[in-house]
Amino acid sequence: MRQLALILSLILAIAVAVFAIQNAGPVTLRFGFWSVETSLVVVILVATAAGAALASLLGLPGWIRNRRRLRLQTRELEALRTAHSSSPGGPSDPSTRPPA
């Protein structure tokens, strides 16, 4: 699944780069009293990078929550395994094994 996501991301990045290169004309950006003239390639690539960064930042809380949950569940699993192996009748006790 991870490889598929990487491949799709690379295809999208190549498509954006080709689109940007094909639209390389000059453009004037205006915001309030601020104005700057630059290439459309720069605008497209900066907007794409900003969108990717924003999407990553929006996904960060869920990723942190999942990592924390995984860490807690791993500790809980280890505690259960420790309790199970140290209890009488654990996996090494032959009296609890079913007859063959």
pLDDT tens, 70-91?
999 999 999 999 998 887 765 5
Task: Please give the Cα distance from 24 to 39 (Å, whole number).
Answer: 6
pLDDT at 77: 94
**Model pLDDT for residues 3-38, shown as the tens digit of each residue:** 998 999 899 989 988 988 888 889 999 989 999 999
Dihedral of CA atoms 62, 67, 73, 79 in degrees, nearest 10, equals -160
Over residues 44-71, the pLDDT tens digits come to 889 999 999 999 999 999 999 999 999 9
The model's pTM is 0.62
Which residue has better confidence, 22 or 97? 22
Token digits for 93? 């006790």
